[in-house]
Structure 1
Amino acid sequence: MDASPKLTARQQQILDLVRSAIERTGAPPTRAEIAKELGFRSANAAEEHLQALARKGVIELVGGTSRGIRLKSDTLRALNEARNANEMTQTQSSFAKPFSLPLSSLAQLTLPLIGRVAAGQPILAQEHIEQSYTVEAGMFARQPDFLLKVRGMSMKDIGIMDGDLLAVQKTSEATNGQIVVARIGDEVTVKRFKRSRGGIELLPENPEFEPILVRAGDESFAVEGLAVGLIRNQMFL
């Protein structure tokens, strides 16, 4: 794929909107959300632009899901390189003598893959690490700290499938709407976070699954991190 495909102004606007949504919440927007944000009369108009972006190779569309939009890794790298180059140019213009900065998007990360987690132990404890993967930092919206293998199809409607490797930035804080990795006892789950008056709801993105309700003060519950990217496990096979 051309690292810098020629996009129309509207296509670039939609690509920026998709990326912004992923950075903010960990999930892409729906067609209806794109239409509302950009003032389209219907979701079909958003779909037509997404299909054009897919033909140009900058995104991948996953059928049968309302949020089935993926930014391809080389698209993320190109976007990050352009952003870093722009930031470098702005920095250099502030000094009489130019200097060079490393491009973070070209760096490699070694990320541990977390297996089964024991209750009461840190998620990154050595005994929980099954293996490690080396990946390019530019694949992700924000730098992750570990990978978690997705089990089950509770998040399939936003394109998170069984067997995928979820890139996670470790944090104990989350805001409503974000995709989180949460722990309840020795069970780790990926869900959409929602804080309510009675506690916390962990919402699936599949109508076949029920929300998980966590009551206020439940000491077995903890947010372990935020989803910042996704890797199809087949690429490592």
Structure 2
Amino acid sequence: MALKLTARQSQILDLIRLAIQQTGRPPTRAEIARELGFRSANAAEDHLRALERKGYIRLSAATSRGIQLTGQAQATDTGSASLPAPAGSPPAHTPGPLPGAPSWLTPADSRLVPLVGRVAAGSPVLAAEHVEREIPLAAHLFESAPDYLLRVRGSSMRDAGILDGDLLAVRSTPQARHGQIVGARLGDDVTVKRLDHQGRRIRLLPENPDFQPIDVGPGDDFAIEGIAVGLIRTTALH
């Protein structure tokens, strides 16, 4: 049975959820302290430790944003109107920041980037039915601004640090250089692979020895949809 949270702990948990939902990453201790009016980040740390002891989050000392929601936290509704919909619900297409979002979640230089889920055969990647929602991303987050985020499916790019459920930041382009990681359409699927392009030969290379390279033949329905410019790792956006 889940341990009961205090009102302040529930407030902080909702804030963490909202930050991940809006930006794909948890807040820092300083951001929590500033939003809730604490005098120092140490006060936020005390509440985070309590949430960890009660099993709602896991903390990592290796990074300032080392806060991860547990399954217990994702299954427990603390009353926020901004939490994700229950499993099985159709994805909400959210055109902008959620109501009540803290100002630091949506910096002045942010822009809305579409999050693309499964792509239907033969239709454009950015077709409206593929866009799960739009996420505000700060302009400085990546060296090259992405045109969309593509939800990664499977573990074929594991050894390149790209895992199932990650959000790959993609810049739209029909061309890519040998060795770049690309989002490519091959037949009915859009896949993430490393491009091996030498002369007339084109192959799509996985980064996992459990998977085989894909040879692209001259008659195959093949197109490069874009090149990877960054990655967001989160388990809270589904």
Question: Which interval holds the TM-score relative to the shorter structure?
Answer: 0.5 to 0.7
- How far has the Cα of 1:217 moved from its partner? 4.1
Contact 1:152 1:162 in 2 (8 A): yes
Task: State the distance in 2 between where 1:204 and 1:197 align.
Answer: 20
Residues 162 and 113 of structure 1: CA distance in aligned 2, closer, same or farther (over 3 Å):
same
Contact 1:200 1:216 in 2 (8 A): no
Contact 2:178 2:198 in 1 (8 A): no
Task: State the distance in 2 between where 1:183 and 1:156 align.
Answer: 20
* Alignment size in residue pairs: 142
User: Per-residue displacement from partner, 1:136-158 (whole Å, max 9, x unpaired)?
Assistant: 12111200000111111111111
Task: State the distance in 2 between where 1:106 and 1:169 align.
Answer: 22
SS in 2 for 1:225: strand
Flag the structure with higher helix content: 1
SS in 1 for 2:132: strand
- How far has the Cα of 1:164 moved from its partner? 0.5
Contact 2:113 2:149 in 1 (8 A): yes
Larger radius of gyration: 2
Contact 2:117 2:131 in 1 (8 A): yes
SS in 2 for 1:139: coil
User: Per-residue displacement from partner, 1:2-43 (whole Å, max 9, x unpaired)?
Assistant: xxxxxxxxxxxxxxxxxxxxxxxxxxxxxxxxxxxxxxxxxx
- How far has the Cα of 1:163 moved from its partner? 0.6
Whichever residue aligns with residue 230 of structure 2, its letter is G
Task: State the distance in 1 between where 2:224 and 2:200 align.
Answer: 17
- Structure 1: 5+ residue stretches without partners: 2-54, 61-104
Residue 101 of structure 2: aligned partner: none
Aligned runs of 1:171-210 on 2, under 5 Å? 171-210=173-212
Task: State the distance in 1 between where 2:144 and 2:205 align.
Answer: 23
Residues 225 and 214 of structure 1: CA distance in aligned 2, closer, same or farther (over 3 Å):
same
Task: State the distance in 1 between where 2:176 and 2:146 align.
Answer: 15
For the aligned residues, what is the CA RMSD? 2.9
Whichever residue aligns with residue 170 of structure 1, its letter is S
Whichever residue aligns with residue 115 of structure 2, its letter is L
SS in 1 for 2:159: helix
- How far has the Cα of 1:119 moved from its partner? 2.6
Residue 231 of structure 2: aligned partner: 230
User: Per-residue displacement from partner, 1:57-82 (whole Å, max 9, x unpaired)?
Assistant: 69x9xxxxxxxxxxxxxxxxxxxxxx
- Structure 2: 5+ residue stretches without partners: 1-27, 29-60, 67-106
SS in 1 for 2:202: strand
Residue 30 of structure 1: aligned partner: none
TM-score scaled to structure 1, two decimals?
A: 0.53
